[in-house]
Chain A
Amino acid sequence: MKLNQTPTLRARTALVGGAAAVALLLSACGSDSSDDATGSSADASDTSDATDGTDAEAAALSVTDPWIKATDDDMTAMFGTIVNDTDADITVVGASSDAAGTVELHEVVTGDGGAMVMQPKEGGFTVPAGGTHELEAGGDHVMLMDLTGPLEAGQDVTVTLELADGSTQDVTAVVKPFTGADEEYAGGMDMGDEDMEHGDTDHGDHGDHDDMDHGDHSEDQ
Chain B
Amino acid sequence: MTGLNRRNLLASGAAALGGAGVGWGTRGLRGDHDGNGTNSASGTEPASTEPAADVVTGGDTIDFHGVHQAGIDTAAQAHLSLVGLDLLEGGGGEELGRMMRLLSDDASRFTSGRGALADTEPELAESPARLTVTFGFGPRVLRMLRPAYDPGLQELPAFPLDRLDPAWGQTDVVLQVCTDDPMTLSHVRRMLLKDAAPFATVRWVQDGFRRARGTEAAGTTMRNLMGQVDGTVNLPADDHADLLWSTGRASGFDGGTFMVVRRIEMDLVDWDRTDRVAREFSVGRKLADGAPLTGSAEHDEPDFEAVDAVGFPVIDPASHVARMRSADPAERFLRRGYNYTTPDGGAGLVFLAFAADVDRQFVPVQQRMDELDLLNEWVTTIGSAVYAVPPACVEGDFVGREMLGLPSPTTSGGDA
Contacts and interface: CB of A to CB of B under 8 A. Distances in A.
Interface in A128-155: 152-155
Interface string A161-172: 000000000111
Q: Taking each of B194, B197, B414, which has the highest tally of chain A beta carbons within 10 Å of its own beta carbon?
A: B414
B416 A172 contact: yes
B121 to A, nearest CB: 12
Contacts of B102: 153-154, 174, 176-177
A66 B99 contact: no
A173 B416 contact: yes
A126 to B, nearest CB: 20
Contacts of A172: 410-414, 416
A62 B414 CA distance: 7
A48 interface: yes
Contacts of A125: none
Contacts of B411: 156, 172, 174
Interface string A94-130: 0000000000000000000000000000000000000
Interface residues of A, number: 29
B12 interface: no
A79 interface: yes
B160 interface: no
B198 A79 contact: no
A6 to B, nearest CB: 18
Nearest to A64: B415
A155 B414 CA distance: 14
B198 A64 contact: no
Contacts of B327: none
B8 to A, nearest CB: 57
A23 interface: no
Interface residues of B, number: 22
B101 interface: yes
Interface in A48-102: 48-51, 62-67, 69-70, 79-80
A158 interface: yes
Contact of B97 (A62, A65, A67, A154): A154
A180 interface: yes
A213 B413 CA distance: 33
A70 B412 contact: no
Interface in A14-32: none
B120 interface: yes
Interface string B234-262: 00000000000000000000000000000
A153 B411 CA distance: 14
Contacts of B117: 65, 67, 174, 176
B269 interface: no
B267 interface: no
B198 A153 contact: yes
Q: Taking each of B97, B194, B413, B415, which has the highest tally of chain A beta carbons within 10 Å of its own beta carbon?
A: B413
A65 B410 contact: no
A64 B98 contact: no
A178 B97 CA distance: 19
A67 B413 contact: no
B148 interface: no
B412 A49 contact: yes
23 contacts: A62-B414, A64-B414, A65-B117, A65-B415, A66-B414, A66-B416, A67-B117, A67-B416, A69-B118, A153-B99, A153-B199, A154-B97, A156-B416, A158-B413, A171-B413, A172-B410, A172-B412, A173-B413, A174-B102, A174-B105, A174-B411, A176-B118, A176-B195
Given A152-B198, A153-B99, 20 more contacts: A49-B413, A65-B117, A66-B416, A69-B118, A79-B118, A153-B195, A156-B409, A156-B412, A158-B413, A171-B413, A174-B101, A174-B117, A174-B414, A174-B416, A176-B102, A176-B118, A176-B195, A177-B102, A177-B118, A180-B120
Query: 9 closest pairs, A vs B, by CB?
Result: A50-B413, A154-B98, A172-B413, A174-B416, A66-B414, A176-B118, A153-B198, A154-B102, A156-B410
